[in-house]
Structure 1
Amino acid sequence: MKRYPVIFSIVLVMLIWAIAACQPNLSNSGGGDIIVASKDFTEQDVLGELLAQQIENKAGLKVDRKPRLGGSYVCHQAIINGKIDAYVEYTGTAATVSKLFENQPIPSEPKALLQQLKDGYAQKFNLTVMPGLGFENTFAIIIRGDDAKRDNIQTLSQAAPFTPQWRGGFGYEFSERQDGLAGLSKTYGFQFAKPPQIMDLGLIYRALIQKQVDLVAGNSTDGQIARLGLVVLKDDKRYFPPYEAVPIVREATLQKYPKLRTALAELSGLVTAAEMQRMNYEVEGELRDVKQVVKEFLASKQ
């Protein structure tokens, strides 16, 4: 009996170590000037590296990279708490995670939304929303091309009557967000016979192609959409807000390094949706090194 407290103490110490090992490493351990993070999917790998290389090339600063830090809420909390200095967000997502529009509709006009985010982020979080990178990556509700052709489905309204026979597959974040599954289902009258499967974003297209699910929520710039012959359904009721890609940066960091603002401003309008989709495919489909893909892209813009 007397051994139990000792065993319990050992187990407790091991548990604490295990939990600590699972936490994201946000310390500036590499001795860099600033920390650039990215969320946990391929496009964010590319965009995080795009910021990092631009900063290193144009501002002459050393960047510590924190790829795959987590989802939108994790990155938002990290930057407002000063754990990271910059990451790329999407305007509609920023409106959701910041709760700036908690008691009002998110503006549907891109310029109006961007301006309100700039004002709100500056006042509430002391963060700067930089000019957009040039493309929008909206949520894309996707079905198999064969199904779309057979049943002549082009819009979300046309898809709604089929949902009682379909199985849905969605990422955890989309299933929980203010601008996610619940609102989409209400707007279009989606009525799945079974609760949708919650799955890793890296698995949704495989599940769709293998007919484990029939409708998924991806991203409009995903490189696999065209390659796999999938169809993005038109948001004919304009449920989703704009999702322009914009760098979010701590104002204190911009003041500390004046060249940083100029370097990031040069990325304004630099990336088209087609270019983003191509880079996503090169990294995910062709398994190319993300640093090399970004380096070649920036070189092509010189």
Structure 2
Amino acid sequence: MKQKIFLVLCLLVLTLTLAIGSCTPKVSNNRADIVIGAKDFTEQEILAEILAQQIETETNLKVDRRFRLGFTYVCHKALLAGQIDAYVEYTGTAFTGVLKQKPISNPKIVYQRLQQAYAKQFELEVMPSLGFENTFAIIIRGKDARDLNIQTLSQAIKYTPQWRGGFGYEFLEREDGFPGLAKTYNLQFAKSPRVMDLGLMYRALIQKQVDMVAGNSTDGQIARLDLVVLKDDKHYFPPYEAVPIVRSATLKKYPQLRQAIQQLDGLISADEMRKLNYLVEGELRDVKDVVREFLEIKMRLGSVPSDKITTSY
């Protein structure tokens, strides 16, 4: 008898729950229309935020941000799987790292071949360049460069057998990274290069734990820390223009997205990118605030005077 009463009570509770649920207004689905991704370093976060804010300003699309995803391959796979809709890549990285092609120094040829291959193989569209190139930069301490009168990679080869290198995992593994660089310049170190996190390399260089690192030419800390970028006098590194890569299906679904991203064509100079990086890394400013102020000035003036890219713009 008690079991029957218990079952009746359960049925009553269930009936009331369903009745209340049917009378409760449904919450609107706030899922984002576009998901923007980024690799795991500051410049990528800035560029992804520029994409996101541009889309939010110029369209009615809702944007979700998924930053600090990891290396190139992680972002590329996320695009193919539809987990993100767009991210900013560098042409030389995509050409050699994703397509597994031999490095080419002509930026126009690299862009054209990349655009064709990505459309055919992956159904991804390579959009116009954001306006700057972020190439690999082989960096040493400024004092060493001055004391030894070193300006180029070829000049540094005389001293590297007594030095130790520190490089990121991706640079050590990539076709356009350390293996090819070492072969081109006959680069040798006292010990095997240390595998280092990108965020720790400059500190290790300053503290003399290593003597040569591979950074990025638009790093904001290079001048601040008195570091010197050695000239690639044998032109080993391919072009690395920053380009948004977007899923073709997403562009087809949201036609307004194309025009919004195309408005960013040529928007950022290398000098501006270095200063934006410094504001975030050196001044510890919020990425969203830095990007919003930069875009406001850029869209209003057409260019950003160097004295405007400060802590207060």
TM-score (normalised: structure 2): 0.85
The residue that corresponds to 2:287 in the other structure is: 290
Counterpart Cα distance in 1 of 2:112 and 2:76: 19
1:106 CA displacement:
2.6
Counterpart Cα distance in 1 of 2:258 and 2:103: 27
Does the residue aligned with 1:216 lie in a helix, a strand or coil?
Answer: strand
Does the residue aligned with 1:191 lie in a helix, a strand or coil?
Answer: coil
Residue-by-residue CA offset, 1:149-194 (whole Å, 9 max, x unaligned): 1111100111111111001000111011111111111110111120
Q: In 1, are the aligned partners of 2:103 and 2:176 still within 8 Å (CA)?
A: no
Q: In 2, are the aligned partners of 1:76 and 1:97 still within 8 Å (CA)?
A: no
- Corresponding position: 1:42 with 2:42: yes
Counterpart Cα distance in 2 of 1:271 and 1:128: 20
Residue-by-residue CA offset, 1:108-145 (whole Å, 9 max, x unaligned): 11111111111110001000000000000000000000
Counterpart Cα distance in 2 of 1:245 and 1:215: 25
**Residues 224-235 of structure 1 mapped to structure 2, 5 A cutoff:** 224-235=221-232
- Corresponding position: 1:123 with 2:126: no
Q: In 1, are the aligned partners of 2:41 and 2:68 still within 8 Å (CA)?
A: yes
1:57 CA displacement:
0.6
Counterpart Cα distance in 2 of 1:265 and 1:106: 27
Does the residue aligned with 2:268 lie in a helix, a strand or coil?
Answer: coil
Q: In 2, are the aligned partners of 1:155 and 1:236 still within 8 Å (CA)?
A: yes
Amino acid at match of 2:122: F
Does the residue aligned with 1:267 lie in a helix, a strand or coil?
Answer: coil
1:195 CA displacement:
0.7
TM-score (normalised: structure 1): 0.88
- Corresponding position: 1:238 with 2:232: no
Counterpart Cα distance in 1 of 2:277 and 2:76: 23
The residue that corresponds to 1:85 in the other structure is: 85
- Corresponding position: 1:251 with 2:248: yes
Amino acid at match of 1:248: I
**Residues 5-154 of structure 1 mapped to structure 2, 5 A cutoff:** 31-101=31-101, 105-154=102-151
Does the residue aligned with 2:157 lie in a helix, a strand or coil?
Answer: helix
Does the residue aligned with 2:68 lie in a helix, a strand or coil?
Answer: strand
Q: In 1, are the aligned partners of 2:55 and 2:61 still within 8 Å (CA)?
A: yes
Amino acid at match of 1:268: D
* Gapped regions of structure 1 (runs ≥ 5): 1-28
Amino acid at match of 1:83: Q
- Name which of structure 1's ranges 262-271 and 107-116 shifts more when overlaid on structure 2: 107-116
* Gapped regions of structure 2 (runs ≥ 5): 1-28, 300-313
**Residues 150-299 of structure 1 mapped to structure 2, 5 A cutoff:** 150-299=147-296
Q: In 2, are the aligned partners of 1:33 and 1:62 still within 8 Å (CA)?
A: yes
1:81 CA displacement:
1.9
Larger Rg: 2
Task: Kindly tell me the number of residue pairs found equivalent between the two proteins.
Answer: 271
Residue-by-residue CA offset, 1:217-248 (whole Å, 9 max, x unaligned): 00000000011111000000011000000000
Counterpart Cα distance in 2 of 1:218 and 1:49: 22
Aligned residues: percent identity?
68
Q: In 1, are the aligned partners of 2:38 and 2:87 still within 8 Å (CA)?
A: yes
Residue-by-residue CA offset, 1:96-116 (whole Å, 9 max, x unaligned): 232252xxx332111111111
1:30 CA displacement:
6.4
1:82 CA displacement:
1.6
From the superposition, tell whether residues 236 and 30 of structure 1 become closer, same or farther in structure 2 (CA, over 3 Å).
farther
Does the residue aligned with 2:215 lie in a helix, a strand or coil?
Answer: strand
Counterpart Cα distance in 1 of 2:296 and 2:237: 34
Counterpart Cα distance in 2 of 1:247 and 1:117: 12
Amino acid at match of 1:238: H
